[in-house]
Amino acid sequence: MRVVLLGPPGAGKGTQAQIIAGKLNVPAISTGDIFRANVSGKTELGLKVKEYLDAGDLVPDEITVAMVKDRLAEPDAKAGFLLDGFPRSIPQSEQLRESLAELGHSLDRVLELVVDEDELVRRLSGRRMLVDGEMIQRDDDKPETVRHRLQVYREQTEPLSGFYEAAGLLSRIDAIGEVEEVTARALKALGVDDAGQPSAD
């Protein structure tokens, strides 16, 4: 199955991507995670993208699209994938469609995690991650940057919701509630049971 997970920062995409991809037995591919790993590893790519991540701006398409294309060509993504954080704009979605078409593939479903903005700000400002045994705040989770990321989301990414709806690919998922409840709603929208197998109804 080829699935895209859409939703604002703080909607829980990363958490759900890991769980759902595990059930579907496909790789979860997170552009944000790939960028962050390169920044902390101080790779050539990391040095190029650090300023964008720190500012909460989108990394330029020529960097992001090439990276995703390479990742999707890897053997583990042949039979399916769950994309988290890509596409993040209409031009990126067009590039994705073309890259998949070259491989003879297309998307099966787009899941949009829906959370209201007050809840997003609350979640992001309280969010911490474990790095080298320490709980730290992601640089781009600082309040000013959070506001900017939400604005970038509204302007560049939110239009994808209507775009994929018009294509008949979108399922909107209420992403408020326990992690397990949100997962159950997502699996239902994908038409699979808790083991990732096609459900009877």
Residues marked active site are found at: 13, 88, 127, 138, 149
Q: Name the residue whose CB lies closest to ligand ADP.
A: 32
Render the chain in DSSP notation, one character per residue.
-EEEEE--TTSSHHHHHHHHHHHHTS-EEEHHHHHHHHHHTT-HHHHHHHHHHHHTPPPPHHHHHHHHHHHHTSGGGTT-EEEES---SHHHHHHHHHHHHHTT----EEEEEE--HHHHHHHHHH--EEETTEEE--GGGSHHHHHHHHHHIIIIITHHHHHHHHTT-EEEEE--S-HHHHHHHHHHHHTB-TTSSBP--
9 scored as a contact of ligand ADP (CB under 6 A): yes
Choose the stretch contacting ligand ADP; rule: CB under 6 A; options: 73-81, 82-90, 93-101, 109-117.
82-90
85 scored as a contact of ligand ADP (CB under 6 A): yes
52 scored as a contact of ligand ADP (CB under 6 A): yes
What is the total count of residues that contact ligand ADP (CB under 6 A)? 18
Q: Which one among 32, 67, 81, 120 touches ligand ADP, defined by CB under 6 A?
A: 32
29 scored as a contact of ligand ADP (CB under 6 A): no
- 86-125 binders of ligand ADP (CB under 6 A): 86, 88, 92
Q: Which one among 3, 20, 24, 53 touches ligand ADP, defined by CB under 6 A?
A: 53
The site for ligand ADP (CB under 6 A) is made up of 9, 13, 31-32, 35, 52-53, 56-59, 64, 85-86, 88, 92, 140, 149
